[in-house]
Amino acid sequence: MSTPDTSDESGWPLTHTERDWNQWQLFAVLLVTAAATWCYIIGEYVGYYLNLKMGIAAMTAGSMIGMLMVTLAVVPTATRYGIDSIAAARPQFGDRGWIITVFLQYASIIGWNCLLMIFFGKSVGQLLQAIGVIDPASVDWVLRIVTVLACALVYLVLMRGGTGLERVSQILFFVIVGIGVWMVWVLLANQSDTIAAATPAYASGSLRWDYVTGIEIGIVSLLSWWPYIGAMVRKAPNAHSATLPAMLGMGLPVPVLSIVGLAAILALQVSDPSAWLITLGGSTYGVIALVFVIAANLGTTLAGVYATAVGLRQVPALAKSRWSTLMLFALVPVAFVSLVVPDLFFSNFGTFLAFIGVFFAPICAIQITDYLILRRQRISIRAVFVGGPGTDYHYWAGFNPAAILAMVAGFFTYLYLLNPVSYASRAPYDILTASLPTAVVAGVVYAAVTLLVNKPAGKGGY
């Protein structure tokens, strides 16, 4: 097998000369990554519980909290050493235990990409049906054909690695921002009275519970950026030049674009812009909406496949694989799900979203506690990539018990507070959310085991 052709296709640390994205370039890539059509579905779920004003406030608060957690967990390490999210997790999980984070990254990004491709296929099918090109019986076939073609397009663009991602993102940036702002204006201008009078369909009767649930949805939505962000911010020269693009480029677009889904579900009972824009403005509006869906989903899928391929490079068996092979690992499952079970996956989005909080809140807490507090922002980059007995991050048989126990504690804390399937909750969920206590418990357990077990045993390179 051949080795990667370019540095940004490798899993090795980038040198300072290879970290050549300025703040604008990074901001454009991160915004295009964040501005996907899942924002409408996020807004739809918040709209089940809150009206427009309360929903916007909850989504914004939750999104910025979640983005802050991800930024603190990944950006300092990734930008200082030029590594991605997976490599940055090796000091905490061990030189074998890090495979846990590879699996979570892979499963999370595959899930998001399936959602995006299915959403894109549905939008194309709805538009073609609305303008009379196809009949309702053909919509499912259109969905499947379009998703496979979209996967092929992503593959071709990313044959140029990070360069292809960055150049396409600069083009998509203007399309996404322009049409996104226009859609918000069209919906609010035409449906303001209906939106103001709308009653959330599943409001619990407790405004506090509903508002906290809106915040929780915002937090877990942004925690999903953990698998993505490292592969991109490592291209920035330092943390100073990456922090603001991360918070504003990935943090703000989600609540802003989620307003579209929130307002649409309140006024029109459908969040897909390809459906409600046709209702408001006919096929011309529908075509504009479709252009936005293409641009938004393409940008996020490109970033997801790129991050997955870089992360898979950390797996020894795939370390010397061709870049094109790694991309197939990221795209073939998406094409399979889109072809075989698109509706089953699409209809269970809420459960998928909640499980992100179950796993990524503890990971963020573990990394923040370890790197910023216990290690005081110092790791051995050699030990990250050279493992085995006697090395700093080998711990016990390659696994760090502090990280594993912290993940388990966080997992059960989340499940106790909020059932990800039924959304049944226990106190103090209605005050603290589920993700924040989960993060606190995971961080405390990690610190306790590290100080009481790992450091006295001389494990972990502290």
pLDDT score, position 260:
86
* Residue 194 burial (CB count, 10 A): 12
Q: Is 116 inside a domain boundary?
A: yes
Whether the pLDDT of residue 94 is over 90: the answer is yes
Q: How far apart are CA 12 and CA 144, in angstroms?
A: 36
Count structural domains, the chain.
1
* Residue 424 burial (CB count, 10 A): 9
pTM of the model: 0.87
Mean pLDDT of 369-397: 94
Q: Terminus-to-terminus CA distance in the chain, angstroms?
A: 37
Q: Is 40 inside a domain boundary?
A: yes
CATH number at residue 30: 1.10.4160.10
pLDDT band at 335 (very low <50, low <70, confident <90, very high): confident
Whether the pLDDT of residue 8 is over 60: the answer is no
Domain assignment of residue 217, given as a range: 7-349
Q: Is 271 inside a domain boundary?
A: yes
pLDDT band at 110 (very low <50, low <70, confident <90, very high): confident
Whether the pLDDT of residue 1 is over 70: the answer is no
**More confident of the two residues 169 and 388:** 388
Q: Is 127 inside a domain boundary?
A: yes
The pLDDT tens digits for 388-423 are 899 999 999 999 999 999 999 999 999 999 988 788
**More confident of the two residues 388 and 70:** 70
Q: Is 446 inside a domain boundary?
A: no
Q: How far apart are CA 222 and CA 59, in angstroms?
A: 10
Q: Is 364 inside a domain boundary?
A: no
**More confident of the two residues 316 and 152:** 152
* Residue 376 burial (CB count, 10 A): 8
pLDDT band at 354 (very low <50, low <70, confident <90, very high): low
Q: Is 438 inside a domain boundary?
A: no
Mean pLDDT of 36-59: 90
Q: Is 226 inside a domain boundary?
A: yes
The pLDDT tens digits for 176-221 are 778 888 888 888 888 888 998 888 999 999 999 999 999 999 999 8
Q: How far apart are CA 53 and CA 38, in angstroms?
A: 20
Q: How far apart are CA 298 and CA 414, in angstroms?
A: 32
pLDDT band at 112 (very low <50, low <70, confident <90, very high): confident
SS3 annotation, the chain = CCCCCCHHHCCCCCCHHHCCCCHHHHHHHHHHHHCCCHHHHHHHHHHCCCCHHHHHHHHHHHHHHHHHHHHHHHHHHHHHHCCCHHHHCHHHHCCCCCHHHHHHHHHHHHHHHHHHHHHHHHHHHHHHHHCCCCCHHHHHHHHHHHHHHHHHHHHHHHHHHHHHHHHHHHHHHHHHHHHHHHHHHHHHHHHHHHHHHCCCCCCCCCHHHHHHHHHHHHHHHHHCCHHHHHHHHCCCCCHHHHHHHHHHHHCCHHHHHHHHHHHHHHHHCCCCHHHHHHHHHHHHHHHHHHHHHHHHHHHHHHHHHHHHHHHHCCCHHHCCCCHHHHHHHHHHHHHHHHHHCHHHHHCCHHHHHHHHHHHHHHHHHHHHHHHHHHCCCCCCHHHHHCCCCCCCCCCECCECHHHHHHHHHHHHHHHHHECCCCCCECCCHHHHCCHHHHHHHHHHHHHHHHHHHHCCCCCCCC
Q: How far apart are CA 440 and CA 55, in angstroms?
A: 25
Most confident of 70-79, 248-257, 419-428: 70-79
